[in-house]
Amino acid sequence: MKRILLFVATNMAIMLTLSIVLTLLGIDRYSGLEGLLIFCLVWGMGGAFLSLLMSRFVAKQAMGVQLVDGRTGHADLDWLHGTVRQITDRAGLPMPEVGYYESPEVNAFATGPSKSRSLVAVSSGLLRTMSREEVEGVLAHEVAHIQNGDMVTMTLIQGVVNAFVMFFARIIASVLRSAVDERMSGAVYFMAVFILQIVLGLAGMVIVAWFSRAREFRADAGAATLSGRGKMIAALQRLQQNTRLVETEHPALATMKISGVKSWMGLLSTHPPLEARIAALQQG
């Protein structure tokens, strides 16, 4: 319930912000192709980037992340902080915030709007289930995401997809509206936009998911460089044994996972199969 309320509140804040921006720009009611394009870009790109700016805060609240500073007196948590510091030093990155959250799932994630304002967090389930060498491999994978700028790139791709879905749905709906009786044109336009945004949105999700899978391979390769290929392979093999402990009930958080589940013949999966990731690392 807390996650649902946070999701609703976040989206309401984004919608309010973007509505104010559009009003200030004088295009809250667009006219012509140029106005429509600006309208869609503000909503599509603006929504994605506002989500990115809020990502650390939302992740902490949604997942119940507790930050650690290396001076907790808890051996595992202090080791966690020190290991992230060592890996980020090797990567030449600023030190991110480090945290953990209570959950039986085996998971870790990195998020944040920039390399200097990032967060790396792990679940208590991961700390209990994996050896320190395996955890180091996972942490290196998450730091590699930060090093590669994956959060920003994913946001750009999602924003462009959102904008073009909105734009083409309205263009096609306008054509359909012009082909029917004027008395039905409003209802036809509304229904067409609604249906087209769903259909085109699914097509756009295929593109976003494809890139997400590609970035996982790159992060695995980065982890092999930062902490050693053996540690990353061992971590993925451990995940194979514990896939039932990766929570899949919240699709909106799918990209904040170290692994995922197959979705719609793999086209909407945000993560490649673990077997494929292990094979890629073994082949160098």
The order of strands in the sheet holding 97-101 is: 66-68, 97-101, 117-123, 108-114
**How far from each other are the two terminal CA atoms of the chain, in whole angstroms?**
44
Catalytic residue among 97, 136, 142, 216: 142
CA distances from 111 to 4, 9, 60, 256 (A): 19, 19, 10, 8
Answer whether 242's CB lies under 8 Å from 147's CB: no
Answer whether 209's CB lies under 8 Å from 269's CB: yes
Q: Where are the alpha helices (H) located in 122-149, listed in sequence order?
A: 124-129, 132-147
Residue 134 is among the residues annotated as catalytic for this protein: no
Both tokens assigned to 220: 């695995």
| Buried-exposed string 242-274: b where 16+ CB fall within 10 A, e elsewhere | beebbeeeeeebbbbbbbbeebeeeebbbbbbb
Q: Provide the angle, in degrees to the nearest 10, between the axes of the packed helices 274-282 and 182-227.
A: 40
Residues whose CB falls within 8 Å of the CB of residue 190, separated by 6 or more in sequence, listed in order: none
The whole-angstrom separation of Cα 284 and Cα 268 is: 26
**Catalytic center residues:** 142
